[in-house]
Amino acid sequence: MSDSTPVFNDRNTGKSKLINPTLVLNCGSSSIKYALISEDESTRITGLAENLGLDTARIKHTTLNGEKLEITIPGGRHELALQKILALLEQYHFVAVGHRVVHGGREYSKAVRVDQHVLDEVKRLKILAPLHNPANALGIEAVEAIYPDIPQVVVFDTAFHQTMPPVAYRYPIPKALYEEEKIRRYGFHGTSHAYVSERASEITDAKGPHGWLTAHLGNGCSATAVYNGESLDTSMGLTPLEGLMMGTRSGDVDPSLHIHLKRKLGMSLEEIDTMLNSESGLLGISGLSNDLRTIEQAANEGHKDAQLAIEMFCYRVGKYLASLSCALPDFTGIVFTGGIGENSATTRARILDVMRHFGIKFNAEKNDDLVGGAEGSFQDEGSSIELWVIPTDEECQIAKETCQALGLK
């Protein structure tokens, strides 16, 4: 490290905090999540711009010293929010920017440095991710306008799953739709599945190549079979709607549901798409909320639909994990992550009860203790597989892949 390397000091402790930081941007359809992460990944500044485009638009920012700031930007959209965020962070002289991009199609199997071709591809692929890829492109262009000399990298949600074999990613539909229209299973939540499976392989005592089932359970949910660091199959498909039951997404339904609802109720494709993505899942079954905590409280008070929503959610996760185990040459264990996976011990227990034929044994006390960001295992003696709770860190994974793509690590 040269003498000119910038070092920034915490005014309270005097200790160096941020050295050669990477800025991570996650631009959603109405929000921007960001993190400035130090070279050694030990220190970060975080924030969230939310409600973009509305009168309630604001930025919630946590400084290096832990101070909470809130900046109102009524009516502010992505461009204004990004200008404010970059202004908050400019004093730290970040060396690179990593962007989470939802869809990378089948061209990209790893993080890549942004050039005009990459940016054009991000925009073109909005046909597969209309709510996210346009916002991701806005983030890239906003940084380019203010910091044209700082290298940018895109880390695709889909990239980790490009190792899936054709037997897993092809749909049983006419070949021309795959070859000409790129209709196939892509998978999502790639950075989360990559992070927790790698972390599990670091901390397990199991020898040899590891086979993990990773369950990312939150408002969006997906499960992946990871063997020797590679995705072999996953629950999400062409879009994030396929697979598990989620907060507001239905997950798997009969493909003929669309034509049935059109014929029976006169619903348009757009109305059906909205229903399946935004009005279904835990919200649709419970009739109360997409937040599992609210549903669990109602279920404990005797609410029948809330009880069914929980039972359906856990049954479908357990069923999917059981089926994904077929992709693994060896089955080392299950890793739970995401807001629900990390914090709901009762949900983990219910899911494992569904998989009762697998010889899984878990320690209920250890399971109950693994909440609130705790990391650890909770299998009991004699269990056929290991059981882990590992808090995901997608920002850290994006920062790491950004540096790798630029040769900084």
In this model, does residue 15 exceed pLDDT 60? no
Per-residue model confidence (pLDDT) at position 1: 30
Mean pLDDT across 284-306: 97
Per-residue model confidence (pLDDT) at position 41: 86
Cβ neighbour number for residue 313 with a 10 Å cutoff: 27
Calculate what percentage of the chain has a pLDDT beyond 70: 96
Where residue 6 falls among pLDDT bands split at 50, 70, 90? Answer: very low
* Domains defined along the chain, listed by start: 7-164 (3.30.420.40), 206-394 (3.30.420.40)
Calculate what percentage of the chain has a pLDDT beyond 90: 82
- The predicted-structure confidence for 347-377, as pLDDT tens digits, reads as follows 999 999 999 999 999 999 999 999 999 999 9
Per-residue model confidence (pLDDT) at position 2: 32
Pairwise CA distance, residues 226 & 233, whole Å: 8
- If you average pLDDT over every residue of the chain, what do you get? 92
In this model, does residue 7 exceed pLDDT 80? no
Q: Which of 157, 252, 330, 393 is catalytic?
A: 157
State whether residue 213 is helix, strand or coil.
Answer: strand
The edge-to-edge listing of strands for the beta sheet with 333-337 is 230-234, 221-227, 211-217, 333-337, 386-389, 376-377
For residue 22, which of 1, 42, 39, 34 has the smallest C-alpha distance?
A: 39
User: Where are the alpha helices (H) located in 209-291, listed in sequence order?
Assistant: 257-265, 269-278, 281-286
For residue 219, which of 160, 314, 292, 295 has the smallest C-alpha distance?
A: 292
Establish how many alpha carbons lie within 13 A of residue 237's alpha carbon, considering only the half-sphere containing its beta carbon.
Answer: 17
- Structural Rg of the chain based on CA atoms: 22
Q: Helices 133-146 and 78-89 meet at what angle, rounded to 10?
A: 50
- Are the C-beta atoms of 8 and 18 separated by less than 8 Å? yes
Take residue 402 and report the two structure tokens written for it: 């950004």
- The phi and psi torsions of 235 (rounded to 5 degrees) equal -85, -35
Residue 157 designated active-site: yes
**From 65-79, 121-135, 232-246, 338-352, the region with the lowest mean pLDDT:** 121-135
